[in-house]
A and B are shown apart, each in its own frame.
Chain A
Amino acid sequence: MPPRRAPAGILLLRKPALALALALSCCARRPEPLSAPVMNDKSVTFPLPSAHDEVPMGPAVLDGEALRALMIAADDLFPPGLHASSCRNRREAYTYRVIRQDDVLFVYIEANPAYCGESFPAMDSGAKYAISKDGRILRRVVDGLDDDDVIWRLKTPDGGRVTVITEPGVVPDATALDAPDSGILKVYEEPVEAPALDAGNGQERRDGGLLYD
């Protein structure tokens, strides 16, 4: 029995399909980190931390918008399909935290050196994203690459204190908070206190590493 042949018509269809597949494969671009579009909306500021942000570890419940925001940020920083041979370059070696404020989801990505059996984080090993609830990246700040807004505490002329957020590169002047070119993005009249986690004196800081007022 002669070998079965496909009808000529199918062959005609297959050849262009194969050529197209080859063409696509040779031109397919490797996914690149930080390639997602960013609106760079400077009016969006990352929120000041509050005690409510610190949620004890327990069952994690995420709504769909929060999950999508996490996935957008993780895919942008660690594109799927790229194999990292080094442990610290894998997305599993980071912690992810999402905070919702109004219609914006803020995603914080930090190194988790313990995952790779290490004791210390690398320099410039974190990033944060502000993502709208419909999935657009409003702002992205990657450590060492992007200038971030700065949180300041200032003494006011009347002896009080005020917390402000400024644009990058601005050293604020407490006597000109309302000046149009002050570079101040937000003013918090009531001083924002650090969480009540006093680490005490400097000697104790040696052990904890973190500093608190």
Chain B
Amino acid sequence: MKNFGPYTSYADALKAACPLILSKPHATVSHLQASDLHLARRTATEYCAWLYYTPEHTYEMSMLADQSSPDDLVTGLRSCVLPPFVNDPRYAPGSLKHIFALHNHPFGTRLSPSDLRFIEQMATLHDWEVMTRGGKVRLSIVAFFSKAQDPTNPTCDGFYQYVPATREMTMWTATQGQWRRAVHGTVTWLNERNYRIDAP
């Protein structure tokens, strides 16, 4: 993606991707939740992208996918369709390492069962762990959220993350530039639609 990075650390790349995605139109609707829930639901839009590791040892973000076309308003779902592979013509096919499946949750909700199903499926295509210059990085899915009441300044307030390799569900929150990690537990599927979190 133009105007993004490249970054030499995944943490920096994540911290840059979060406000970028949340700044897209209707990526957060927290400011409407109390005043006009109907409008919030109608306009809420999800965006998704891959954060990937290149042979040049840098982190890049793919183009954003979204569902803002009129056809997408015929359902109540606000899905985001992320292609399983990034096509970056600067690099040889197969040389890119897919690390984070990024998207936003306009209402700041936690990861849904279909989010987890998606990344579990991606774990059948991509490496669970990627060896980078900075160490091992695990494939995961991330849902950014903002609690901002000012739509012109959608702050990045945190994200939920799920790692298939460890089945770990975590929540990261940002307060005045300080990031805090809370491990909620490991995920166990009860069936294809329901998961349970086993607290540590």
Binding site for B on A (CB under 8 A): 32-34, 46, 48-49, 53-54, 76-79, 82-86, 88-89, 97, 108, 110-111, 119-128, 142-148, 150-155, 163, 168, 171-172, 174, 192, 194-195, 202, 205-207, 209-213
Contact = CB atoms under 8 A, between A and B. Distances in A.
B91 interface: no
B110 A168 contact: yes
Interface stretch (B10-18, B41-49, B54-62, B172-180): B41-49
B11 to A, nearest CB: 22
A151 to B, nearest CB: 4
Interface string B123-166: 11000100000000000010100000000000000000000110
Contacts of B184: 171
Contact of A123 (B44, B110, B114): B114
Nearest to A85: B71
Nearest to A83: B74
A140 B168 CA distance: 27
B5 to A, nearest CB: 23
B1 interface: no
Main SS at interface, chain A: loop
Contact of B193 (A83, A110, A153, A163): A110
Nearest to A213: B188
A123 B48 contact: yes
B188 A155 contact: no
Nearest to A169: B110
Contacts of B77: 77, 124-127, 142-143
B82 interface: yes
A209 B199 contact: no
B34 interface: no
Contacts of B164: 205, 211
A128 to B, nearest CB: 8
A77 B76 contact: yes
Given A147-B107, A195-B191, A211-B167, A206 B124 contact: yes
Contacts of B75: 33, 77-78, 84, 89
Contact of B71 (A84, A97, A206): A84
B118 A122 contact: yes
A210 B79 contact: no
A172 to B, nearest CB: 7
B190 interface: yes
Interface in B34-91: 41-42, 44, 46, 48, 71-82, 84
Contact of B196 (A33, A97, A152): A152
A97 B120 CA distance: 22
Contacts of B191: 49, 53-54, 195
Contacts of A172: 199
B74 A78 contact: yes
B106 A144 contact: yes
Given A144-B143, A207-B124, 14 more contacts: A33-B74, A89-B72, A122-B118, A125-B79, A144-B106, A146-B107, A192-B190, A192-B196, A194-B190, A206-B123, A206-B128, A209-B120, A211-B120, A213-B188
